[in-house]
Amino acid sequence: MATQHSRSAARFMMAPAVVLLLGWMLVPLLMTLYFSFKTYLPLRGGDLGWTGFDNYVRFVSSSAFWPSIQATLIIVGGALIITVGFGVLLGILLNQPMWGQGVVRILVIAPFFVMPTVSALVWKNMFMDPTNGLLAHLWRFFGADPVVWLSDASLFSIILIVSWQWLPFATLILLTAIQSLDGEQLEASEMDGAPVLKRFWYIVLPHLSRAITIVILIETIFLLSIFAEILVTTGGAFGTRTLTYLIFQRVLESQNVGLGSAGGVYAIILANIVAIFLMRIVGKNLDA
Partner 1 sequence: MARAVTNQRKAINTAAAWAVGLLIFFPILWTILTSFKTEATAIADPPVFLAFDWTLENYSAVMERSNYARFLWNSIIIAGGSTILGIIVAVPAAWSMAFVPSKRTKDILLWMLSTKMLPAVGVLYPIYLIFIKLGILDSRIGLVIVIMLINLPIIVWMLYTYFKEIPVDILEAGRMDGASLKDEIIYILTPMAVPGIASTLLLNFILAWNEAFWTLNLTAAKAAPLTAFIASYSSPEGLFYAKLSAASTMAIAPILILGWFSQKQLVSGLTFGAVK
Interaction residues for partner 1, span 205-224 (CB under 8 A): 210-211, 214, 218, 221, 224
Output the smallest distance, CB 6 to partner 1, in A. 5
Cβ-Cβ contacts under 8 Å for 195 (sequence gap 6 or more) = none
Q: Among 45, 52, 61, 96, which residue sits at the site for partner 1 (rule: CB under 8 A)?
A: 96
Q: Which of 115, 89, 95, 51 is nearest to 200 (CA)?
A: 89
Binding mask 137-166 for partner 1 (x = CB under 8 A): x--xx----------------------x--
Output the smallest distance, CB 155 to partner 1, in A. 19
Output the smallest distance, CB 239 to partner 1, in A. 19
Q: Where are the alpha helices (DSSP H) in the chain?
A: 4-36, 54-61, 65-95, 101-109, 116-121, 134-141, 149-152, 154-179, 183-191, 196-199, 205-224, 228-231, 243-248, 257-287
Contact positions with partner 1 (CB under 8 A) in 103-132: 103-119, 121-127, 132
Cβ–Cβ under 8 Å, residues 225 and 116:
no
DSSP string covering 76-134: HHHHHHHHHHHHHHHHHHHHS--TTHHHHHHHHHGGGGS-HHHHHHIIIIIIT-TTTSH
Contact positions with partner 1 (CB under 8 A) in 185-204: 187, 190-191
Closest to partner 1 by CB, 5 or 206: 5
Q: How far apart are CA 228 and CA 222, in angstroms?
A: 12
Output the smallest distance, CB 203 to partner 1, in A. 16
Cβ–Cβ under 8 Å, residues 281 and 263:
no
Judged by CB under 8 A, the stretch of 52-60, 65-73, 150-158, 229-237 that binds partner 1 is: 229-237
Closest to partner 1 by CB, 147 or 228: 228
Contact positions with partner 1 (CB under 8 A) in 16-45: 16-18, 20-21, 24-25, 27-29, 31-32, 35
Binding mask 258-277 for partner 1 (x = CB under 8 A): --xx--xx-xx-xxx-xx--
Cβ–Cβ under 8 Å, residues 85 and 166:
no
Output the smallest distance, CB 121 to partner 1, in A. 6
60 belongs to the binding site for partner 1 (CB under 8 A): no
Q: Among 41, 74, 93, 181, which residue sits at the site for partner 1 (rule: CB under 8 A)?
A: 93
Judged by CB under 8 A, the stretch of 47-55, 59-67, 167-175, 199-207 that binds partner 1 is: 167-175
Output the smallest distance, CB 74 to partner 1, in A. 18
Q: Which helix (H) or strand (E) segment is 41 a member of?
A: strand 38-41
Closest to partner 1 by CB, 78 or 262: 262
Site size with partner 1, rule: CB under 8 A? 108
Q: Among 59, 166, 238, 248, which residue sits at the site for partner 1 (rule: CB under 8 A)?
A: 248
- Compute CA 55 distance to the chain's CA centroid, rounded to the nearest angstrom: 27
Cβ-Cβ contacts under 8 Å for 161 (sequence gap 6 or more) = 119, 120, 123, 124, 229, 233
Instruction: Compute CA distances 278 → 119, 210, 216, 283, whole Å.
Output: 28, 11, 9, 8
